[in-house]
């Protein structure tokens, strides 16, 4: 028979004012299995805790129930006290006599009776409690950062500066992401590359950062603290250990007309190329799709040019494995092309651009060296129209959400244009101006007031070309719907910020969730913005939703701190409230029938398949096993299992039934 100790707290008068605590202690003391029951003024005080410790020893208690406040308040306190007295802490439970009883009921017979019931429930539960050990998992103190935009750069540097190793994987030949493509940045108009390049270099030189460019994640296995990442190093065709980055090969490559990704299609590049002059690493790769040699088997001019013999024709993709303890996802976003909107030109008019293309035009390192010129004929546009929300906030053809950054960059574009073309006229068609941020509204007002950008509230219905002009048919809704027609020289669409292509597949590889637009989903929209619901995988930057640089950097540092916190211990200690699949002696092994309903139910992919093999190594059965590193203890699997083979420690079926039955069985 159990020997349970029960301790009823007065909480000063908080409980005893409405509950007859002496009667509770008295009646519970008479229950089967209760070896000791007392009441006391402040159980959580030192003397209160001492009562418990002494009773554990004196009566050899095998269970403790404290009838006091909410377990959310003092459960750790009393469990610690029990542990100090040598009792497994998970044999201690609390009955909530304060928040759930004395504070919500008047002083009465019923209130005391309810209090007795609440304590009884816990006594019955504790009888079924089993000693549990907290779970310890080792932590590999090395982080994997996927994506080398400003988010990935910031997160890598922050983690590396805490002294931990970082592996940074970037898909493109250089890190930098979208920020490296920007001209000047709102709200301060500082040059994007001037502030970014030093950080890119720092990444390359940091002793704690291992950089893999032109690489992608192949697969990820394992769980928090213990991931195994397979990384595909795409063949660069250039040996980076010998290449000096002199660029001679690039000068000589005869394939020169490939649209440059970095210049958003406005400039060209060669087949062997460095995406932009400040690239990190500043060494070329060969684009095999466009290279003459890979296409037709002849050329090799680059090889002849290279003084150090760095070209490697037969290099193949390589797959390496890295063990890491945490992952930061920082794969950023993408912008929709102009062909998104048929009425704005089907991508057929050369002078209808995306915002990103305009950034390249305005950038000193861009195809026009910072002069705003029309792609069609190189003329300087005298009239320019910006169309906000081009694709965003359009459930019919685009995406329903607001892309958040485009109001700001449109204001910036109009401003940059006015600064560069003094006699130019710029018009912005907008629906709302969303400029929430430090100095953002002021920035937009400056565009309107000081730089005389013409803001017209209304959407544009159509853009078409006539006599070398782009006719923009819009409306001024503030004038009761007056139609506005502008003959523009250039039209810039603030196209939607969308999830990066491939983000869905990447999310599936990592077992993180994504939203309907394929942006990665945070664990909680307010309180866990950098966590995913897979423990150990964190988010940074625009891969979670469109966002600007300040927010991206803040989020990246947040993710880095989460990683550092995780790495601050050698082992992870977790509450043992996790699921377990029962194990029986052979030949039964388990009541689990291997239906894996639990697997479909589990939101954390914590269910694994365990093969039970005979002595000869033949497969007897496959049953479920819970990966305790991944299990969060939600218990969903328990409700799904029809054979009742999986149960959740601390809330087992047995325990819960005992609670319920104690209430009803009289």
The interface with ligand SF4 within residues 635-664 (CB under 6 A) comprises 635-637, 640-641, 643, 645-646, 648
24 binds ligand SF4 (CB under 6 A): no
Q: Which one of residues 393, 446, 509, 583 is an interface residue with another protein (CB under 8 A)?
A: 393
Region binding ligand SF4 by CB under 6 A among candidate stretches 143-151, 243-251, 259-267, 562-570: 243-251
Peptide bond into 233 cis (omega under 30): no
Q: Which one of residues 431, 448, 561, 612 is an interface residue with another protein (CB under 8 A)?
A: 431
331 binds ligand FAD (CB under 6 A): yes
Give the whole-angstrom CA distance, residue 105 versus residue 243: 79
Note the Cα 337 to chain centre separation in Å: 26
Q: Which one of residues 34, 122, 356, 488 is an interface residue with ligand FAD (CB under 6 A)?
A: 356
397 φ, ψ to 5°? -115, -20
Quick check: helix, strand or coil at residue 32? coil
Q: Which one of residues 253, 285, 494, 648 is an interface residue with another protein (CB under 8 A)?
A: 648
Size of the residue set binding another protein (CB under 8 A):
81
Lookup: tokens for 332? 């950023």
Question: Per-residue contact track with ligand FAD, 508 to 537, x per CB under 6 A?
Answer: ------------------x-----------
614 φ, ψ to 5°? -75, 180
604 closest CA partner among 533, 652, 504: 533
Give the whole-angstrom CA distance, residue 499 versus residue 156: 22
Question: Per-residue contact track with another protein, 341 to 360, x per CB under 8 A?
Answer: -xx--x-x------------
The residues near 453 (Cβ < 8 Å, ≥ 6 apart) are 411, 414, 415, 418, 426, 427, 428, 447
444 binds ligand FAD (CB under 6 A): no
612 versus 634: smaller Cβ distance to another protein:
634
Residue burial 85-113, b: 16+ Cβ < 10 Å; e: rest: bebbbbbbbbbbbbeebbeeeeeeeebbe
Give the whole-angstrom CA distance, residue 507 versus residue 533: 12
359 binds ligand FAD (CB under 6 A): yes
Q: Which one of residues 62, 93, 158, 216 is an interface residue with ligand FAD (CB under 6 A)?
A: 216
Quick check: helix, strand or coil at residue 531? strand
Interface of this chain with ligand SF4, residues 75 to 134, rule: CB under 6 A? 98
255 binds ligand SF4 (CB under 6 A): yes
Size of the residue set binding ligand SF4 (CB under 6 A):
81
Interface of this chain with another protein, residues 76 to 105, rule: CB under 8 A? 96, 98-101, 103-105
Walk across the sheet containing 383-390 and list its strands: 352-354, 490-495, 383-390, 425-430, 454-457
Q: Which does 481 bind (CB under 5 to 8 A by kind): another protein, ligand SF4, ligand FAD, none?
A: another protein
Interface of this chain with another protein, residues 480 to 519, rule: CB under 8 A? 480-481, 483-484, 513
Q: Which does 473 bind (CB under 5 to 8 A by kind): another protein, ligand FAD, ligand SF4, none?
A: another protein
Region binding another protein by CB under 8 A among candidate stretches 58-66, 237-245, 555-563, 646-654: 646-654
Question: Per-residue contact track with ligand SF4, 403 to 422, x per CB under 6 A?
Answer: xx-xx---------------
186 versus 596: smaller Cβ distance to ligand SF4:
596
182 binds ligand FAD (CB under 6 A): yes
129 closest CA partner among 156, 153, 94, 105: 94
DSSP 585-631: -TTT--S--S--HHHHH-TT--EEEEEEE-TTS-EEEEEEEE-TTT-
Q: Which does 542 bind (CB under 5 to 8 A by kind): another protein, ligand SF4, ligand FAD, none?
A: ligand FAD
Interface of this chain with another protein, residues 581 to 640, rule: CB under 8 A? 597, 601, 603-604, 632-636, 638-640
310 binds ligand SF4 (CB under 6 A): yes
Region binding ligand SF4 by CB under 6 A among candidate stretches 280-288, 336-344, 349-357, 561-569: 280-288
Q: Which residues pair with 623 in a beta bridge?
A: 610
248 binds another protein (CB under 8 A): no
Region binding another protein by CB under 8 A among candidate stretches 230-238, 329-337, 375-383, 651-659: 651-659
254 versus 468: smaller Cβ distance to ligand SF4:
254
Q: Which one of residues 6, 24, 69, 159 is an interface residue with ligand SF4 (CB under 6 A)?
A: 69
535 closest CA partner among 562, 508, 553: 562
Q: Which one of residues 7, 78, 90, 186 is an interface residue with ligand FAD (CB under 6 A)?
A: 186
Note the Cα 38 to chain centre separation in Å: 50
Interface of this chain with ligand FAD, residues 94 to 153, rule: CB under 6 A? 146-152
Note the Cα 433 to chain centre separation in Å: 28
Shortest distance (Å) from residue 307 CB to ligand SF4? 6
Quick check: helix, strand or coil at residue 542? helix
Note the Cα 300 to chain centre separation in Å: 44
353 binds ligand FAD (CB under 6 A): no
Q: Which one of residues 293, 333, 429, 519 is an interface residue with ligand FAD (CB under 6 A)?
A: 333
16 versus 213: smaller Cβ distance to ligand FAD:
213
Q: Which one of residues 83, 189, 235, 299 is an interface residue with ligand SF4 (CB under 6 A)?
A: 299
SS3 content of the chain, % helix, strand, coil (to 5): 30, 25, 45
243 versus 496: smaller Cβ distance to another protein:
496
Give the whole-angstrom CA distance, residue 446 versus residue 535: 45
Lookup: tokens for 523? 């664990």
Shortest distance (Å) from residue 529 CB to ligand FAD? 10
DSSP 87-143: S-GGGEEEEE-IIIIITTS-SSHHHHHHHHHHHHHHHHHHHH------EEEE---EE
Q: Which one of residues 24, 35, 444, 624 is an interface residue with ligand SF4 (CB under 6 A)?
A: 624
Interface of this chain with another protein, residues 295 to 314, rule: CB under 8 A? none
Give the whole-angstrom CA distance, residue 520 versus residue 504: 8
Quick check: helix, strand or coil at residue 335? strand
Shortest distance (Å) from residue 479 CB to another protein? 10
132 binds another protein (CB under 8 A): no
Give the whole-angstrom CA distance, residue 25 versus residue 18: 15
263 versus 534: smaller Cβ distance to another protein:
534
Residue burial 52-71, b: 16+ Cβ < 10 Å; e: rest: bbebbeeeebbbbbbbbbeb
416 versus 607: smaller Cβ distance to ligand SF4:
607
For ligand FAD, the binding residues (CB under 6 A) are 146-152, 169-172, 177-179, 182, 185-186, 216, 330-333, 335, 355-356, 359, 405, 409, 412, 500, 502, 506, 526, 541-543, 547-550, 552
């Amino acid at each position: 028979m159990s020997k349970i100790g029960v301790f009823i707290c007065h909480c000063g008068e908080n409980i005893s004012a409405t509950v007859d605590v002496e009667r509770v202690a008295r009646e519970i003391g008479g229950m089967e299995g209760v070896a000791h029951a007392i009441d006391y003024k402040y159980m959580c005080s030192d003397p209160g805790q001492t009562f418990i410790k002494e009773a554990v020893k004196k009566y050899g208690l095998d269970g403790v129930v404290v009838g006091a406040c909410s377990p959310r308040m003092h459960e750790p306190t009393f469990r610690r006290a029990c542990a100090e007295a040598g009792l497994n802490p998970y044999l201690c439970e609390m009955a909530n006599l304060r928040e759930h009883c004395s504070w919500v009921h008047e002083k009465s017979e019923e209130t005391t009776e309810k209090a007795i019931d609440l304590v009884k429930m816990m006594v019955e539960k504790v009888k079924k409690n089993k000693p549990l050990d907290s779970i310890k998992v080792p932590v590999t103190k090395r982080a994997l950062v996927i994506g080398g935009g400003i988010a990935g750069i910031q997160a890598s540097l922050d983690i590396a500066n805490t002294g931990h190793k970082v592996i940074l994987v970037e898909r493109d030949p250089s890190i930098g992401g979208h920020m490296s493509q920007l001209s000047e940045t709102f709200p301060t108009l500082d040059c994007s590359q001037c502030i970014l390049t030093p950080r890119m270099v720092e990444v390359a030189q940091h002793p704690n950062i291992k950089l893999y460019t032109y690489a992608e994640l192949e697969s990820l296995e394992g769980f928090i603290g213990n991931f195994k990442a397979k990384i595909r190093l795409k063949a660069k065709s250039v040996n980076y250990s010998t290449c000096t980055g002199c660029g001679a090969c690039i000068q000589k490559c005869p394939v020169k007309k490939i649209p440059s990704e970095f210049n958003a299609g406005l400039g060209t590049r060669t087949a062997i190329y460095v995406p932009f002059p400040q690239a990190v690493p500043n060494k070329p790769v060969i684009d095999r799709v466009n290279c003459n040699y890979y296409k037709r088997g002849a050329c090799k001019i680059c090889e002849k040019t290279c003084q150090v013999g760095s070209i490697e024709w037969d290099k193949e993709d390589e797959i390496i494995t890295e063990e890491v303890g945490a992952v930061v996802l920082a794969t950023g976003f993408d912008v929709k092309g102009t062909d998104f909107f048929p009425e704005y030109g089907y991508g057929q008019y050369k002078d209808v651009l995306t915002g990103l293309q305009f950034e390249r035009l305005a950038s000193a390192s861009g195809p026009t060296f910072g002069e705003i010129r029309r792609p069609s004929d190189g003329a300087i546009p005298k009239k320019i129209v910006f169309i906000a929300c081009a694709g965003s906030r359009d459930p019919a053809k685009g995406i329903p959400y607001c892309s958040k950054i485009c109001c700001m960059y449109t204001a910036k574009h109009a401003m940059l244009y006015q600064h560069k073309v003094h006699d130019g006229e710029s018009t912005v068609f907008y629906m709302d101006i969303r400029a929430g941020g430090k100095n953002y509204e002021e920035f937009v007002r400056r565009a309107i007031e000081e730089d005389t950008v013409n803001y017209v509230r209304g959407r544009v219905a159509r853009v078409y070309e006539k006599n070398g002009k782009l006719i923009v048919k819009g409306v001024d809704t503030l004038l009761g719907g007056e139609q506005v027609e502008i003959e523009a020289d250039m039209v810039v669409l603030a196209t939607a910020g969308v999830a990066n292509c491939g983000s869905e597949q990447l999310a599936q590889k990592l077992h993180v969730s994504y939203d309907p637009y394929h942006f990665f989903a945070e664990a909680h929209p307010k309180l866990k913005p950098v966590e995913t619901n897979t423990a150990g995988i964190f988010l940074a930057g625009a891969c979670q939703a469109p966002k600007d640089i300040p927010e991206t950097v803040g989020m990246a540092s947040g993710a880095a701190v989460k990683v550092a916190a995780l790495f601050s211990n050698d082992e992870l200690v977790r509450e043992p409230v996790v699921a377990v699949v029962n194990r029986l002696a052979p030949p039964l092994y388990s009541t689990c029938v291997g239906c894996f309903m639990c697997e479909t139910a589990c939101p954390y992919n914590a269910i694994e398949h365990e093969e039970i093999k005979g002595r000869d190594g033949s497969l007897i059965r496959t049953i479920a096993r819970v990966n305790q590193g991944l299990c969060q203890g939600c218990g969903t699997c328990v409700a799904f299992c029809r054979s009742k083979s999986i149960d959740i420690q601390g809330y087992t079926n047995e325990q819960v039934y005992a609670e319920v039955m104690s209430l009803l069985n009289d």
